[in-house]
Amino acid sequence: MRRTLRSGDRRKQTRIGTHPRSRCVLCDFLRDLCDEPSSRRTPARRAPRAMASHAAAAAAGLSEIAVGGIVADSMLPAAVGSVVVDEKTLSIYIDDADKPVTVQALQDFIIPSIRGPIPLTDIATVEQADGPASIITIQGVQAATVSITPNSDDVGTASATVTAALTDVDLPASARAEIGGVTAQQADAFQQLILASLVAILIVYVVMVAMFKSLRQPLELLISVPFAATGAIALQLISGIPLGVPSFIGLIMLVGIVVTNAIVLVDLINQYRVRGMRVRDAIIEGASRRLRPILMTAAATIFALLPLAVGLTGSGGFISQPLAIIVIGGLISSTVLTLVVLPTLYYLVEGARERREDKGVDPWWRRFGQWFSRRILRRGGPARRGDPTPTTVSAGDTA
């Protein structure tokens, strides 16, 4: 896991890495998560620094950037040519042994100007100051990175602890802290898997609508999905395994697995109703006949996943174990609750429809459509006041 501190100001960015309170708070929290946090931020070191004056440099016909470029070029090796060796072109540089690397050398350094050669001290202040030994940039912004390796597999808890530690750190106004590494990758994966779960539920619903030729019954079958999620999360909490990407993959698998038992049960109940059975009798007969197959298929899947759940896969257990635990917990809860809750829900919905048909009462949506047609569209029903009264002419009157 990586936590990055970014700042657009070099002096403030140096202060982030050397601020005593920030280092103390972060290290105290991070040592609870890992043996020793590591940082790519190098310690500050004292070095000569020249600060050019804008007014003095302008009077000499120079800019601050030009002054910095002249001083920097004097410290770098000079390119004098190139040579070809084994069909490779290599540049030749000559290092200046007298380059200004001390405060005194910089004070005596002569730079050209419109007034002729002048010492650097005429247009700049030279002093010994603290500065970074190396500068790290991310997308052009200076940054300091602190990396840790958690002692456990619970990356979420480690990230929450680091975030809480950073809230107590007084960062400069131009600096910001952001999370990176495995935690950022896991957050992106969670967002994609949540979207995949919603798409999986939608696809399953569309397939069941085509199978049952109904919009209502597939919604009744999808009630087993929340039951599966409840059992899966409960078993994961009991086992103490943190939520991760394999757990989300197991939840997506459960969407298709747990609906299978509900489809098998409701399909047989619908077949009995087509044969003329009433809703209550069809539910009793269908549930009694499908109880044993549903329990057998669920038990076979659960026992097949037990070796993965107990961690017999060795080094690959960090992927297979959370997935197996999620599937086992979801199957246990969805199987038990599907055999109890789904028939009850089916009886409440379909039984109410059957009782309305026995009484000759139209459903509410049909009554609303009739009322809408009669009151709003004026189709049928009694005539309103002011409407013309129709006149009936008989054959005898015509004669």
Q: What angle do CA 26, 30, 34 make, to 5 degrees?
A: 160
Task: For residue 119, give Cα distances in angstroms to 77, 97, 106, 116.
Answer: 22, 20, 9, 10
Taking every pair of Cα atoms in the chain, the longest distance, rounded to a whole number of angstroms, is 135
| SS3 sequence of the chain | CEEEEEECCHHHHHHHHHCHHHHHHHHHHHCCCCCCCEECCCCEEEEEEEEECHHHHHHCCCCHHHHHHHHHHHHCCEEEEEEEECCEEEEEEECCCCCCCCHHHHHCCEECCCCCCEEHHHCEEEEEEEEECCCCEECCEEEEEEECCCCCCCHHHHHHHHHHHHHCCCCCCCEEEEEECHHHHHHHHHHHHHHHHHHHHHHHHHHHHHHHCCCCHHHHHCCHHHHHHHHHHHHHHHHCCCCCHHHHHHHHHHHHHHHHHHHHHHHHHHHHHHCCCCHHHHHHHHHHHHHHHHHHHHHHHHHHHHHHHCCCCHHHHHHHHHHHHHHHHHHHHHHHHHHHHHHHHHHHHHHHHHHHHHHCCCCHHHHHHHHHHHHCCCCCCCCCCCCCCCCCCCHHHHC
Residue 38 has what pLDDT?
A: 54
Residue 386 has what pLDDT?
A: 47
Which single residue is written with the structure tokens 């949506």?
Answer: 365
Token reading at 165: 């530690």
Domains of the chain in start order, with CATH, are: 1-43+133-180 (3.30.70.1320), 45-130 (3.30.2090.10), 185-374 (1.20.1640.10)
CB-CB contact of 147 with 40 (8 Å): yes
Residue 383 has what pLDDT?
A: 46
For each of the chain's 399 residues, which pLDDT tens digit applies? Answer: 555 545 444 444 433 443 444 444 455 545 555 555 555 555 667 778 788 888 888 888 888 888 888 888 888 887 778 888 888 888 888 887 778 878 888 888 888 888 888 888 888 888 887 776 677 777 777 777 777 776 666 666 777 777 777 777 777 777 777 777 766 777 778 888 888 888 988 998 898 888 888 888 888 888 878 878 888 888 888 888 777 788 888 888 888 888 888 888 888 998 998 888 888 899 999 889 988 988 998 899 889 888 888 877 665 556 778 888 888 998 888 888 888 888 888 888 888 777 777 776 666 666 666 666 666 665 444 444 444 544 444 444 444
pTM greater than the 0.95 cutoff: no
Determine how many CB atoms are found less than 10 A away from the CB of residue 141: 13
